[in-house]
Amino acid sequence: MSLNINILICLFLCGEVPGIQSFEQVPWLPCQLVDESVTFNDEGHAETEYQHRDAGLQFGHPGDSALNPNKITFLVTGSKVDMRKYIEGVMAHQLRCEIRRYNTEGLQMRWPGLGAQEHDIWFTCTIRHTDGVFIITSFLRHTPATPTPGQAHYRNWAAIADRAALTTSTVMLVLTRSPSVRVGLVKQQSLHCQFDVDHKAADLTVEWRLQRHGERTTLFSHSSHSGQTKGSGVPLNAIGRGNASLTLPLTKQSSEGTYVCLVSVPPLFGSHDITLHIMEPPRVSLNVDSTIFLVDRGEQKVVCEAEGYYPLDVEMEWFREPSGGGGGLLPEKLDTVLYSSHRHHQDGTYSLSAFFLLHAFLHNSGSKYFCRVSHSSQRMPIRKSFTLIVTEYDSWNTALWLFFGFGAILVMVAILFVMLPRLSSARKANQVGTSSYLTCVSSFIRSIYGIRMVYVIQRNAYLQILSLQQ
C-alpha cells in the first residue's frame, strides 16, 4: 500500500526527475548540454552560438542501451574516478547538471590514463548543489568512432545528433565544498578544494589565486613535474591524497575576495571560484532596562547601539507597539529617530547608534518599544525592546510631602517656642545646655526632612529662626 502511495507522489512531483532517490542510486541524471557551434564570418572571426539541449548522464558499462533514447546520453563508464562518490546522500532533485564541450586550446595529446586515444574529445560536466553546498567539475573523455585529427579543437568539433549516445570515461574531477564562505574576523578558515585523477604520477599543477579589487595574486603553487612549490597554505602530503584545500591566515578585512583553486593535468585545466565574505554580526544594546518608569509628560533619551559589525551596511529602526497587543495593531515606525555617524574601529568593524527622545504620556503607558537592526550577517533582524510605564504626574506625592514635611516643622517650632520660657529661666545657668539642645533638634529636622534651619539665640533668650532651606 505504502509503495503505491510513493509511486503516486512521484508521478505528481517528480516528473522525469527521480527526485526522491539519492544520487548514487540514480542511473540517469538529467543534464543540460550547453552546446556551442562555431562559425566563421567573412573576416575569418569566430562566432559562437550557444544552444541548450536536453541530455543526461547515465552510469553504466560500455554497450549499455540508453535509458532515455530520445535524449542525448553521456554514458559514464567504469573509471577510477567516480563523481558519485563525492555526492553521497544528496537527493537527485538538489542537483543541477551542465555539460559543455571542452576546448584543449590546440593542445593535442594522448591522455596518459588507460584506454585513451590520440583523437579523444573532451566534455566537462559540472554538477552543483542547489543550496551551494558543493560544485564538482568532471572531465569526460570520449573516443569518437571515426577519429579525425584535431577534433578536440573547437574548429573541428563534430555535431552531436539529438539522440546520440556518447560513451565517456571520467578522467579527472575538481570539486569544492565551500563555493561561498562567510566568516567572522580573526577566524581560522580553510577553503575546500579536492581533486581526483585516473592515473598515478600525473603531471599535476595545483595553484591558488586571490582576486580582489581587480588585482590577482598567486598565494600558492605546486608543480609535481618540477617539484617546485611557492607560497604556503597547502600541505604537500595532502596534495598527494587529492586534497588541495587552502588554510588561510587568521581572517581580517582584507581576506575578502575570490579565491581560485586551479588543478591542471595537461591538456585539462580545472578550477573553482570560492568567494569569501567577512561577516561580523552587530552586538545590539539599549541604554535602558527592559521596563522604564516615567511620570506623565516626562522625557528620556533612548539609545539603541549596534557595535562591532562588518560590512558597513546596517539598517536600524525604532518601532512602537501600542499597549494591549493582540488588538491587531501593527507596530508603528518612529520617525523622530536620529542617528550617530558610523564609527570605524581599528579591527575593521563599525558601530552606529539610533536614538530618540521619548516623551511619556499616560495613554502610552504599557507600550512596547523595540529597536530593530538588520544586517547581512543575520537572516533575521535583531530586536531589543523595553516597555514604558507612565505614572500620573506626581502632584499627590508633592502634596503629601508638603503636608507632612512642613506640618512637622511647624510642630517642632511650636515645641521650641513652648520651651522658651524654661530656657529663659535657666538661661544663665544653662546657656551651653540650651544651645546643644537646639543643635540636636535642628539636626533631627535636617536628617528627616532635609531642611537646614538657621537660627540664633538672642541675648534675651529669644530664639530667632533666620531661615529654612531645603
Number of residues that bind ligand NAG (CB under 6 A): 7
Comparing CB distances to ligand NAG, the nearer of 247 and 291 is 247
- Confirm if 259 and 193 have CB atoms less than 8 A apart: no
| Residue 240 binds to ligand NAG (criterion: CB under 6 A) | no
- Could you tell me which residues come within 8 angstroms of residue 95 by beta carbon, excluding any fewer than 6 positions away? 23, 29, 87, 127, 128, 129, 130
Q: Cβ of residue 243: shortest distance to ligand NAG, in angstroms?
A: 4
Binder among 185, 238, 413, 457 for ligand NAG (CB under 6 A): 238
Residue closer to ligand NAG (CB basis): 208 or 350: 208
Closest CB to ligand NAG among residues 239, 423:
239
Q: Please tell me whether residue 235 binds ligand NAG under the rule CB under 6 A.
A: yes
* Burial class, 373, CB count within 10 angstroms (exposed 0-12 / middle 13-18 / buried 19+): buried
Instruction: Pick the closer one to ligand NAG by CB: 26 or 81.
Output: 81
Nearer to ligand NAG, 104 or 221 (CB): 221
- Please report how close the Cβ of residue 57 comes to ligand NAG at its closest, in angstroms: 24
CA 267, CA 416: separation in Å to the nearest integer? 113
CB closer to ligand NAG out of 68 and 243? 243
- Indicate whether 229 belongs to the interface with ligand NAG (CB under 6 A): no
Per the listing, cell 552543483 goes with: 128
Which residues, 6+ apart, have CB-to-CB distance to 40 below 8 Å?
46, 47
- 386 with 288: CB under 8 angstroms? yes
Contact 390, 362 (CB under 8 A): yes
Q: How far is the CB of 181 from ligand NAG (least distance, A)?
A: 14
Grid coordinates given for 354: 539610533
- Shortest Å, Cβ 248 to ligand NAG: 10
Return the number of the residue (151 or 194) whose C-beta is nearest ligand NAG: 194
As measured in angstroms, the least distance from the Cβ of 342 to ligand NAG is 37
To ligand NAG, the closest distance from the beta carbon of 237 in angstroms equals: 9
By beta carbon distance, the residue nearest ligand NAG is 243
Give the C-alpha separation, 297 to 284, whole Å.
Answer: 28
d(CA 367, CA 358): 12
- Nearer Cβ to ligand NAG, position 235 or 450? 235
Stretch that binds ligand NAG, among 66-74, 142-150, 238-246, 248-256 (CB under 6 A): 238-246
> Which of 224, 243, 374, 391 forms a contact with ligand NAG (CB under 6 A)?
243
245 binds ligand NAG (CB under 6 A): yes
Binding mask 189-208 for ligand NAG (x = CB under 6 A): -x------------------
Tell me the C-alpha distance between 147 and 281, whole Å.
Answer: 59
DSSP track, 9-35: HHHHHTTTS-TTSBGGG-SEEEEEEEE
Q: End-to-end alpha-carbon separation of the chain, Å?
A: 91
Nearer to ligand NAG, 236 or 440 (CB): 236
Contacts of 127 (CB under 8 A, 6+ apart): 29, 83, 87, 95, 96, 97, 98, 135, 136, 138
Burial of 398: CB neighbours in 10 Å, binned 0-12, 13-18, 19+: exposed
**Per-residue interface string for the shown chain with ligand NAG, residues 148-187, x marking contact by CB under 6 A:** ----------------------------------------
The rounded radius of gyration (Å) of the Cα atoms in the chain is 42
**Binding-site ranges for ligand NAG (CB under 6 A):** 190, 234-235, 238, 243, 245, 247
